[in-house]
Amino acid sequence: MAAVILDGDTLAAKWLDELKRDVAALAAEGIEPRLATILVGENDASNSYILRKHADCAQIGIASDDIRLPADVSERALLDRVRRFNDDKTVDGLIVQLPLPKHMDTTSVQMALKPAKDVDGLHPVNLGALINGAPGLRPCTPSAIIGLLRAYGVPLAGRHVAIIGRGLLVGRPLALMLAHAEVNAIPTLLHRGAPDIGAITRESDIVIAAAGAAEIVRADMVRPGAAVVGVGITYRDGTMVSDIADDVAKVASFVTPHHGSVGPLTRASLLRNVVAAARAAR
């Protein structure tokens, strides 16, 4: 039996429709959610992602500002722009798109964001709230992954989840979110130090690959009937390649497609954070 495709595109469209109604309800109260993004330099992938974010905003009625700065802008000038948005009461969400040019300290820039406007959910204050189980803006991609699995009825409570990749954007916060009582899964965080990744993934009910390593998860590494989510991508001869090999679909019960699953949901999760920040600010 073929694996069920975890279709993030369709689910993201549903989330955006729900958000459009939320934004309209806020507008009736005189509240207009607003997102500001800052992109430094020329990066094709970042530019594409930023444009999609603003298209999503326009679709559901969120106002947005798309700020572009040259690659040689000083860190001081960037931080000044961040502070101005922090102080602007009409702006609810603020993103400084990564990666930044090498002459900038990424940590200093991220720390400069006001936590209440950090709709990526990656400021240390928001990550601290995640660790403590306190309310706060949650990281977008982990939220997207959990939402996708729940939407397709994949059981999480008490299930073993192998996460490949310990990055700050996905792996580490996802492990924390899965372990929280409201999800109650049993996560294992895997990385290059694991002597045999396959030995653990074969015993897992769910495998989530966020390594950015082409086809790192193969069919012989997956337990029959497992759910498999591919997050990481790489490029091979100009073609996008998933962390999940094609043959995984022959073994798994649920699997993400190579393109357009977690990404659209990540952007929708971001806009959920913008709406939540707007409510909290008023």
Q: Which of 22, 118, 120, 243 is catalytic?
A: 120
State the Cα–Cα distance between residues 56 and 38, nearest whole angstrom: 16
- What tokens were used for 118? 């950090």
Whether 66 is catalytic is: no
State the Cα–Cα distance between residues 255 and 155, nearest whole angstrom: 14
Whether 53 is catalytic is: yes
Going by the DSSP 8-state scheme, the letter that residue 220 receives in this structure is: G
Whether 97 is catalytic is: yes
Half-sphere exposure of 46 (CA within 13 A, CB side): 18
Q: Which of 22, 92, 97, 110 is catalytic?
A: 97
| Residues 209, 197 contacting (CB under 8 angstroms) | no
Q: How far is CA 221 from the centre of its chain?
A: 25
Q: Which of 22, 53, 117, 205 is catalytic?
A: 53
Give the count of beta carbons closer than 10 Å to the beta carbon of residue 80.
Answer: 11
The identity of residue 71, as a single letter, is A
State the Cα–Cα distance between residues 69 and 194, nearest whole angstrom: 41
Q: Is the dihedral of CA 222, 224, 230, 235 positive or negative?
A: positive
Closest CA to 273 of 149, 123, 163: 123
State the Cα–Cα distance between residues 260 and 264, nearest whole angstrom: 6
State the Cα–Cα distance between residues 247 and 267, nearest whole angstrom: 28
Those residues with Cβ within 8 angstroms of residue 102's Cβ, 6 or more apart along the chain or in another chain: none
Active site residues: 53, 97, 120
